[in-house]
């Protein structure tokens, strides 16, 4: 997103402040851009990767390049434009899982940004609050993964207060886990 520089009507600069709250940037700017264009830029795609797991960005970049694309831009364009063509939620997750070899934590993060009404992030903190689903990240068969991810979604829906969106329910459970862990840590330090 560019902003006009005061006093120079022709110059624009990037509003770097928008990246401070990366989730807001993703759920407002990136999601809408994807819906308009039907694909993502490499920058926006890697903003999702960093949001989920900054440590994974180099591994994912290398993995994309190993698929024979000329560069990251071509790989991300192919991945995201084909993702936009997938019909159901199941097809979308299957595409990322089977075609691009994304494990559930990263695939669910990508899909949560692009389709927040249908997906939520698979996260260990949320699993802690649900006291279940910890082994879901290790599933290698999509046919086993999909029904279990659906159960995970239903559990997230039930465990958080009524009236929240799926994304808000995920945040609520993540925040509850954070709070409980910190209180436990403080008690142990005392």
Tell me, yes or no, whether 31 lies in a domain. Answer: yes
How much is the pLDDT for 14? 83
Q: What is the pLDDT of residues 10-48, one digit of tens each?
A: 455 689 999 999 999 999 999 999 999 999 999 999 999
Answer yes or no: are the C-beta atoms of 152 and 144 closer than 8 Å. Answer: no
Q: What is the pLDDT of residues 129-166, one digit of tens each?
A: 999 999 999 999 999 999 999 999 999 999 999 999 99
Q: What is the pLDDT of residues 47-92, one digit of tens each?
A: 999 999 999 999 999 999 999 999 999 999 999 999 999 999 999 9
Q: Which residue, among 183, 182, 114, 107, has the nearest Cα to 152 in the 3D structure?
A: 107
Tell me, yes or no, whether 27 lies in a domain. Answer: yes
Per DSSP, 7 falls in state T
Instruction: Supply the pTM of this predicted model.
Output: 0.91
Place of tokens 């999601």: 31
Owning domain of residue 45: 1-85
Strands (E), the chain: 2-4, 12-14
Tell me, yes or no, whether 135 lies in a domain. Answer: no
How much is the pLDDT for 1? 52
If one counts the domains in the chain, the total is 1
């Amino acid at each position: 997103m560019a902003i006009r520089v005061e006093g120079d009507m022709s110059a624009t600069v990037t509003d770097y402040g928008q990246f401070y709250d990366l989730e807001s940037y993703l759920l407002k700017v990136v999601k809408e851009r994807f819906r308009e264009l039907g694909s993502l830029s490499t920058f926006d795609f890697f903003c999702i990767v960093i949001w989920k797991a900054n440590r994974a960005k180099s591994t994912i970049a290398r993995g994309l390049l190993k698929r024979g694309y000329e560069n990251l831009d071509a790989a991300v364009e192919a991945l995201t434009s084909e993702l936009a063509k997938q019909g159901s939620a199941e097809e979308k997750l299957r595409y990322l899982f089977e075609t691009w070899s994304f494990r559930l934590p990263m695939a669910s993060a990508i899909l949560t940004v692009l389709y927040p009404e249908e997906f939520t992030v698979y996260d260990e903190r949320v699993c802690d609050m649900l006291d279940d689903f910890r082994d879901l990240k290790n599933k290698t068969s999509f046919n086993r993964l999909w029904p279990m991810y659906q159960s995970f979604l239903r559990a997230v829906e039930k465990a958080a207060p009524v009236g929240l969106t799926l994304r808000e329910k995920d945040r609520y459970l993540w925040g509850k886990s954070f709070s409980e862990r910190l209180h436990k840590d403080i008690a142990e330090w005392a």
